[in-house]
Amino acid sequence: MGKDRRIKNHFDPANLLTGDGDGQSREQSAPGQILYTEGSAADAMFYVRDGWVKIATVSRGGKEAVVGFRREGEFFGTLCLVGKRFATATALTHCTLIRISRRALIRLLREQPDFAVMFTTYLVQRNVRDQETLVDHMTNPAEKRLARALLLLANHFDGSEPLLIAAPFSQSMLASMIGTTRPRVSLFMNRFKKHGYIEYDGHGRVWVHSSLRRVLSDR
């Protein structure tokens, strides 16, 4: 498990992406609300001020595959720069989002050097994360894939305190994310709990301990 590669930059995009600028707007979304669909016109990206967003794609047979999640301080819909929507974005919780039009984004990249460096760094880091996930799917068993997913969702790379995953992730959703079945996710979650790697209650809340990283080092 590598260290967290989310934005580590002195520049805070929240100061610039307020929803009041030209080409920007602030939007509120309810849980389950579809923000855009796969194949739709890609004329804007979004910055998450608060909440969680699910990114998923659907096969020709109608099976959903969860590609990932975006949380506070992250972007989604960045492929608007090339006019593509390769997935569907859905609000997982109540969300506060900043919508930035493609035209406004291009202007920010040209006129705000600090933003351009931060945003480019974010895209590179996200690409590395996606490549690591692909390698994980190709080389690791489902139990390790689940452990890695939980650590990523909890942003648990340093420290030893149990961290709460601040969104209700169902076992079916986790199964879709790592490419296995819900019963197997249930089996692994119970095993993790038995070893003290995680804690969870009856309300969908999960606390992840740093000790879960041991699963990734097991041969």
Q: Tokens for 187, please give them.
A: 């089996």
Question: Per-residue pLDDT for 156 more than 70?
Answer: no
Q: How confident is the model at residue 5, as a pLDDT? A: 42
Q: Percent of the chain scored above 90 by pLDDT?
A: 49
Name the pTM for this structure: 0.82
Angle between helices 142-153 and 113-139 (to 10 degrees): 160
What domains can be seen in the chain, in order of their start residue? Answer: 13-135 (2.60.120.10), 141-217 (1.10.10.10)
Burial class, 34, CB count within 10 angstroms (exposed 0-12 / middle 13-18 / buried 19+): exposed
Burial class, 7, CB count within 10 angstroms (exposed 0-12 / middle 13-18 / buried 19+): middle
Q: Tokens for 102, please give them.
A: 């493609």
- The 10s digit of each residue's pLDDT in 124-155 is 988 998 888 888 888 899 999 999 999 888 87
Cβ neighbours of residue 148 closer than 8 Å, sequence gap 6 or more: 1, 136, 140, 216
- The 10s digit of each residue's pLDDT in 20-62 is 988 999 999 999 999 999 989 899 999 999 999 999 988 777 7
Is 101 within 8 Å of 23 (Cβ atoms)?
yes
